[in-house]
């Protein structure tokens, strides 16, 4: 099959799968999710993504309907059913199925998965971004299904021919619509702190590990849009897009002043993925 869906134990072609209207994901976005690429039949950073799913679920008092080991087996089964080796694997857990009412219902959570073919991005591509006020709620450290502000920010970026929207709260840079954002300044990597205003990405943690190998100091602190524009380099990270260099923000040239260090980081992030998924 070219794209596969799963819902509570039932598999099928993705376009033919259905979920109940009373799944709380439908009318409340009441759930959490994860996504990661696969290569050569290997799911990248699977343990880290599973652990984060359980953390997100715990924040919302959602009980994942199977233990971590069983979930891992189900995810690997999805990958084994695919005809292609390069894919994106997505899974979500909603609180359950019940008539619409705000209080938590009795019953079990629902597990949905889907896997689709994926073409890995060209990491040599330099991208343009815009800035947008961060209008999301104050639980951004939870990877929930409530993504409307992020969807709106991404649409604004695309309408201006840009790759991403860099979000800020009263000037303080947080993250992008679907990525973390970082800067290089005077040889140091500066990244927003992992508080409730950002989702601490798996790719972000991998970037920090690469910095350690390269001897680049990592500083997790708040920084503002002015500091972003004055940075030596600006770049984004995410599990499916890895790392992209930003060379323009709001139509103004930015970064581009520490090419060697950025390219070492880019090669390190990609090399880590290749090594983990080689067979």
- 229: its two tokens: 């524009």
Cα separation, 257 vs 255, in Å, equals 6
Pairing between strand 164-169 and 126-133? parallel
**Same-domain check for residues 41 and 158:** no
Query: Hey, which residues does 246 pair with through a beta bridge?
Result: 127, 234
Q: For the whole model, what pTM was predicted?
A: 0.96
pLDDT recorded at residue 83: 85
Sign of the torsion formed by the C-alpha atoms of 183, 264, 199 and 88: positive
In this structure, the answer to whether residues 24 and 160 fall within a common structural domain is no
CB 271 within 8 A of CB 263: no
Structural domain of 34: 4-117
**Do residues 239 and 2 touch, judged by C-beta distance below 8 A?**
no
Task: Say whether both 272 and 139 belong to one domain.
Answer: yes
CA-CA distance, 276 to 113, in Å (whole number)? 23
Angle (CA) 53-57-60 rounded to 5° is: 150
Residue finishing a domain among 91, 117, 143: 117
Catalytic entry in 18, 68, 76, 143: 143
Q: Are 269 and 243 in contact, with CB atoms under 8 Å apart?
A: yes
By residue count, the chain amounts to: 279
- At how many degrees (to 10) do helices 202-214 and 46-59 cross? 130
- Of 117, 143, 176, the one marking the end of a domain is 117
Q: What is the CA radius of gyration of the chain?
A: 19
Q: What CATH number corresponds to the domain at position 258? A: 3.20.10.10
List the chain pLDDT tens, one digit each, 279 residues.
Answer: 689 999 999 999 999 999 999 999 999 999 999 999 999 999 999 999 999 999 999 999 999 999 999 999 999 999 999 988 899 999 999 999 999 999 999 999 999 999 999 999 999 999 999 999 999 999 999 999 999 999 999 999 999 999 999 999 999 999 999 999 999 999 999 999 999 999 999 999 999 999 999 999 999 999 999 999 999 999 999 999 999 999 999 999 999 999 999 999 999 999 999 999 998
130 with 109, same domain: the answer is no
Closest CA to 236 of 258, 262, 273, 210: 262
Which domain-ending residue is among 95, 117, 139? 117
Task: Say if residue 85 is in the same domain as residue 151.
Answer: no
Residues 165 and 235 in one domain: yes
At 227, list the tokens. Answer: 């500091």
**87 and 170 housed in the same domain:** no
Q: Do residues 87 and 161 both lie within one domain? A: no
Q: What is the pLDDT of residue 85?
A: 84
Co-location of 110 and 46 in the same domain: yes
CATH number of the domain bearing residue 92: 3.30.470.10
Q: State the total domains in the chain.
A: 2
Are 111 and 65 in contact, with CB atoms under 8 Å apart?
yes
pLDDT given at position 47 = 98
Asked if 237 and 270 count as a contact pair (C-beta separation under 8 A), the reply is: no
Both 157 and 216 in one domain: the answer is yes
DSSP string, 202-241: HHHHHHHHHHHHHT--EEE---BHHHHHT-SEEEEEETTT
Same domain, 21 and 58: yes
* Residue 275 annotated in active site: no
What is the C-alpha to C-alpha distance for residues 24 and 102, in angstroms, rounded to an integer? 10
Q: Are residues 27 and 53 in the same domain?
A: yes
Helix 259-277 / helix 202-214 crossing angle, nearest 10 deg: 120
Q: Cα–Cα distance between 153 and 146 in angstroms, integer?
A: 13
């Amino acid at each position: 099959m070219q794209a596969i869906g799963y819902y509570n134990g039932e598999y099928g072609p993705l376009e033919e799968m259905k979920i109940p209207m009373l799944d709380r994901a439908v009318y409340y976005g009441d759930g959490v999710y994860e996504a990661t690429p696969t290569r050569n039949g290997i799911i990248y950073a699977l343990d880290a993504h599973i652990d984060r799913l359980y953390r997100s679920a715990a924040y919302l008092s959602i009980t994942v309907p199977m233990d971590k080991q069983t979930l891992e087996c189900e995810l690997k089964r999805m990958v084994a059913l695919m005809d292609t080796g390069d894919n994106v694997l997505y899974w979500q857990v909603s609180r359950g199925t019940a008539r619409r009412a705000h209080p938590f219902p009795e019953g079990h959570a629902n597990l949905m998965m889907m896997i689709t073919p994926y073409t890995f991005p060209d990491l040599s591509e330099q991208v343009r971004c815009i800035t947008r006020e961060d209008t999301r709620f104050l639980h951004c450290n939870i990877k929930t299904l409530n993504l409307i502000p992020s969807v709106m920010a991404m649409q604004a970026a695309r309408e201006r021919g840009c790759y991403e929207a860099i979000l800020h709260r009263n000037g303080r840079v947080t993250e992008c619509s679907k990525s973390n954002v970082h800067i290089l300044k005077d040889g140091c990597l500066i990244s927003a702190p992992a508080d409730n205003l950002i989702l601490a990405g798996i790719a972000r943690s991998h970037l920090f590990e690469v910095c350690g190998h390269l001897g680049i100091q990592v500083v997790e602190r708040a920084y503002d849009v002015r500091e972003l524009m004055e940075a030596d380099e600006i770049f984004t990270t995410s599990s499916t897009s890895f790392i992209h260099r930003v060379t323009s923000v709001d139509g103004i040239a930015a970064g581009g002043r520490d090419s060697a260090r950025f390219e070492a980081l880019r090669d390190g992030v990609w090399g880590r993925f290749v090594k983990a998924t080689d067979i």
